[in-house]
Amino acid sequence: MYVNGVTLKNRGIPDSHRLSVYESTGGYQALRKIFSEQVTPEQVIAEMKTSALRGRGGAGFPTGLKWSFMPKGVSGTKYLLCNADEGEPGTCKDRDIMRYEPHRLIEGMIIGAYAMGARAGYIFIRGEFIEPIRRVEAALEEAYAAGFLGERILGQDFSFDLYVYRGAGAYICGEETALMEALEGKKGQPRFKPPFPASYGLYGRPTTINNVETFASVPDIIVHGGQWFLELGKANNGGTKIFSVTGHVQRPGNYEVPMGTPFPELLEMAGGLRPGRSLKAVIPGGTSTAMLAGDTMMDCTMDYDSIAKAGSALGAGSVIVIDDSVCIVRVVERIARFYMHESCGQCTPCREGMGWLWRVMHRIENGQGRAQDIELLLNVGSRIEGRTICALADGGVAPVVSSIKLFREEYEHHIRHGQCLVGQRRAA
Amino acid sequence: MLSDQALAAIAAERRKYPADQARSALLAALRIAQEEHGWLPTELIEEVAQVLEIPSIQAFEVATFYTMYDLKPVGKHKLCVCGSVSCFLNGSDDILAHLQKRLGIGIGETTADGLFTLQEVECLGACKDAPVLHLGDQYLERLTPEGIDALIEQLRGGSSDVR
Ligand SMILES: Cc1cc2nc3c(=O)[nH]c(=O)nc-3n(C[C@H](O)[C@H](O)[C@H](O)COP(=O)(O)O)c2cc1C
Ligand code: SF4
Ligand code: FES
């Protein structure tokens, strides 16, 4: 199996964040190949389409297609942005790419800029990520010094400037248009779409934004070909993908495996469950994706299509494993708190609804649930979904509604008896 | 209130953006001001706005929107414990309870000696290393009550590199 072979290939090598190490392992060969073989921007985009790489930030949008949306022949600056705001509970992969492979991200962005004609770019890194910020900033300096960035890159008629932008604490800035607002020095509040960023993005200019892992996948696609990447995974789900396996496993971590890997194999890599425990539920793609029953998950493979068929989404590949030691009501109450805290407040259904969901979850968890509370949660949820500017609100509804479907008896027990059906009140 | 050094750092940030987009440097300028002063009093936010030549309301909007800006004084060491789900599943509530007992303060409070502020924050993006705490420019990972005791001792002893 092709494990840890693409975006985290060098993680185990000392000083893997340095340019010298990256170059000694084939780094910047993709960029050199583009120039020496005179690969055109159109050919780069065609290769990306062949690869079936889908955006790793959560939505899974085909990257080659997204790149083809950038208008050609417009005057003025086009921008390329990298989304490194990583903040959805369970998601912790971009941090490791930036810590261990910053040049792979930078090379991917340079290739993207070449393909789309972008003149400048920003890597938006969440403000708490000081170590990754320092690594990426140091890598940018090295790349400038080596002629991979700036005016006339490697002597070619192609220039691209790239900078780090530090966030200041707000999960919502991960939403792409909120990120652009933040970059403009405003509150990170998502914009209405359309217009889409390809026509009206940063400073109103044509803009493309991709996730860290998406860009870091690009160099190997150019070196080995889109077909090679596609065949690492499966049709429509090209390549390998990092899965951040967290929660109740013995070896939580980032595991980069081929798309289509059976979930039981991934669980095994992460050390399996703790002794004597059984698998209760899994949140397969970060807290914005629906919870699945443990048994359902054991029959899934790790790719967009399989997880969608099971009724959830692969999201950013953030696999949260929940065993039988903990009460689902308490877990979901904690998740609901996140969405209440992170709502940017501009849509009423989200601003009011996220707080409402949490308050009802909180009173159920604390033994003050009322008989009609389950229906109330479902009702509030159904009045939020699809009625907001961005997907944060739907993401906040998903864990509540999906967990009621799966574990209704735990909710009912809580409401009737004022306490948990399983586990202690405090999680182990 | 801003030193020449801070002003130079803000000027360097401005150069990352088109000349007519000074506002883009606002988040960085507020951070630089806070790093120098410890927190962001009203006058300092106004000064940042003046330096960037933008209306102060724009600076206040941003300073109140993002969680990393401190609008009141905080302790020398701000301990931000993640309480989101992956950390929760790995005992973050126990870590928080232990810290409250050790420091004798509640969440959101600062010790009388001004040394520690305790906060509970949402996901820090390091969930595989749960439970996690953010302190200054470091993350402390896979926390245990014993590790917390050692950390507090070290910080009280004046060391701040605690990795
Ligand atoms: C509330 C919210 C938060 C998001 N957070 C992130 C994030 O932290 N990182 C990320 O790459 N994408 C995030 N996204 C998805 C982005 O909006 C966008 O789809 C993505 O950056 C596109 O890159 P990709 O096509 O390479 O995945 C978020 C979306 C929403 C609605
Ligand atoms: S759905 Fe929520 S987070 Fe998204 S724009 Fe509306 S209020 Fe803001
Ligand atoms: S849940 Fe604590 S770091 Fe992500």
Question: Could you tell me the two tokens for A3?
Answer: 């494990």
User: A247 contacts in B (CB within 8 Å)?
Assistant: 85-86, 89-90
* Of A143, A145, A138, the residue nearest A110 (C-alpha): A143
Q: Model confidence over A345-356: pLDDT tens digits?
A: 999 999 999 999
Question: Could you tell me the two tokens for A390?
Answer: 């961005």
Q: Let me know: does A325 contact A248? Beta carbons within 8 Å.
A: yes
Question: Which of the pair, A420 or B25, is modelled with greater confidence?
Answer: B25
Contact A92 B128 (CB under 8 A): yes
Q: What is the mean pLDDT of residues A192-199?
A: 96
* Helix (H) or strand (E) segment spanning residue A15: none
Q: Let me know: does A377 contact A360? Beta carbons within 8 Å.
A: yes
Contact B27 A182 (CB under 8 A): yes
Q: How far is the C-alpha of A387 from the C-alpha of A394, rounded, in Å?
A: 9
pLDDT at A218: 98
Q: How far is the C-alpha of A203 from the C-alpha of A184, rounded, in Å?
A: 7
pLDDT at B158: 82
User: A100 contacts in B (CB within 8 Å)?
Assistant: none
Mean pLDDT of chain A: 96
pLDDT at A396 over 70: yes
Residue whose token pair is 């008989």: A371
Contact A170 B67 (CB under 8 A): yes
pLDDT at A177: 98
Q: Let me know: does A1 contact A262? Beta carbons within 8 Å.
A: no
Q: What is the mean pLDDT of residues A333-339?
A: 98
| Best residue for ligand 3 mutational test, from B123, B134, B138, B142 (most atoms within 8 Å of Cβ) | B123
Of B83, B128, B134, the CB nearest to A246: B128
Contact B86 A126 (CB under 8 A): no
User: Residues, chain B, total?
Assistant: 163
Distance between Cα A165 and ligand 3 center (Å): 22
Ligand 1 neighbours (beta carbon < 6 A): A 55-59, 61, 83, 85-88, 172, 174-176, 209-211, 214, 390-392
| pLDDT band (50, 70, 90) for residue A423 | low
- β-pair partners for A300: none
Task: Transcribe chain B into DSSP letters.
Answer: ---HHHHHHHHHHHTTS-TT-GGGGHHHHHHHHHHHHSS--HHHHHHHHHHHTS-HHHHHHHHHHSTT--SS---SEEEEEE-SHHHHHTTHHHHHHHHHHHHT--TT-B-TTS-EEEEEES--S-GGG-S-EEETTEEE-S--HHHHHHHHHHHHTT-----
Task: Transcribe A349-407 into DSSP letters.
Answer: HHHHHHHHHHHHHHHHHTT---TTHHHHHHHHHHHHTT-SSSTHHHHHHHHHHHHHHHH
Which of B30, B67, B86 best probes binding to A when mutated, by most A CB atoms within 10 angstroms?
Answer: B86
Contact A92 B125 (CB under 8 A): yes
* Of A139, A131, A129, the residue nearest A20 (C-alpha): A139
Q: Model confidence over A14-70: pLDDT tens digits?
A: 999 999 999 999 999 999 999 999 999 999 999 999 999 999 999 999 999 999 999
Of B84, B91, B137, the CB nearest to A338: B84
Q: CA triplet A60, A61, A65: central angle to 5 degrees?
A: 150
* Of A360, A154, A202, the residue nearest B24 (C-alpha): A202
The alpha carbon of residue A227 is apart from the nearest alpha carbon of chain B, in Å, by 32
- pLDDT of chain B, 163 residues: tens digit per residue: 999 999 999 999 999 999 999 999 999 999 999 999 999 999 999 999 999 999 999 999 999 999 999 999 999 999 999 999 999 999 999 999 999 999 999 999 999 999 999 999 999 999 999 999 999 999 999 999 999 999 999 999 887 666 6
Nearest C-alpha in A relative to B21 = A184
Q: Which atom of ligand 1 is nearest to the CA of A59?
A: 19
Q: Let me know: does A56 contact A317? Beta carbons within 8 Å.
A: yes
Tell me whether strands B133-135 and B77-82 are parallel, antiparallel or unpaired. antiparallel
Coil/strand/helix, residue A65: helix
Distance between Cα A91 and ligand 3 center (Å): 8
Contact A428 B91 (CB under 8 A): yes
Q: Whose CA is nearest to atom 29 of ligand 1?
A: A175
The alpha carbon of residue B52 is apart from the nearest alpha carbon of chain A, in Å, by 11
Distances (CA, A) of A343 to A352, A363, A395, B51: 9, 21, 11, 31
Count of beta carbons in the 10 Å neighbourhood of residue B60: 16
Contact A247 B89 (CB under 8 A): yes
Ligand 3 neighbours (beta carbon < 6 A): A 89; B 82, 84-87, 123-127, 130, 132
User: A168 contacts in B (CB within 8 Å)?
Assistant: 27, 30-31, 62, 66-69
Q: What is the mean pLDDT of residues A116-145?
A: 98
Contact B67 A183 (CB under 8 A): no
Q: How many CB pairs under 8 A join A and B?
A: 150
User: B94 contacts in A (CB within 8 Å)?
Assistant: 426
Q: Which atom of ligand 1 is nearest to the CA of A176?
A: 17
Ligand 2 neighbours (beta carbon < 6 A): A 172, 190, 343-347, 350-351, 388-390, 392-393
pLDDT at A426 over 90: no
Q: How far is the C-alpha of A244 from the C-alpha of A230, rounded, in Å?
A: 21
Nearest C-alpha in A relative to B124 = A87
Tell me whether strands A240-247 and A318-323 are parallel, antiparallel or unpaired. parallel
pLDDT at B149: 96
Coil/strand/helix, residue A220: helix
Count of beta carbons in the 10 Å neighbourhood of residue A417: 11
User: Residues, chain A, total?
Assistant: 428
Q: Model confidence over A260-317: pLDDT tens digits?
A: 999 999 999 999 999 999 999 999 999 999 999 999 999 999 999 999 999 999 999 9
Q: What is the ipTM of this complex?
A: 0.97
User: A245 contacts in B (CB within 8 Å)?
Assistant: 128
Q: Which residues of B touch A (CB under 8 A)?
A: 16, 18, 21-28, 30-31, 54, 58, 61-62, 65-69, 80, 83-86, 88-91, 93-94, 122-130, 134, 137-139
Q: Let me know: does A88 contact A316? Beta carbons within 8 Å.
A: yes
User: B39 contacts in A (CB within 8 Å)?
Assistant: none
Q: Let me know: does B85 contact A87? Beta carbons within 8 Å.
A: no
Contact A170 B65 (CB under 8 A): yes
User: A86 contacts in B (CB within 8 Å)?
Assistant: 125
Q: How far is the C-alpha of A252 from the C-alpha of B132, rounded, in Å?
A: 13
Q: Model confidence over A374-393: pLDDT tens digits?
A: 999 999 999 999 999 999 99
Q: How far is the C-alpha of A380 from the C-alpha of A397, rounded, in Å?
A: 9
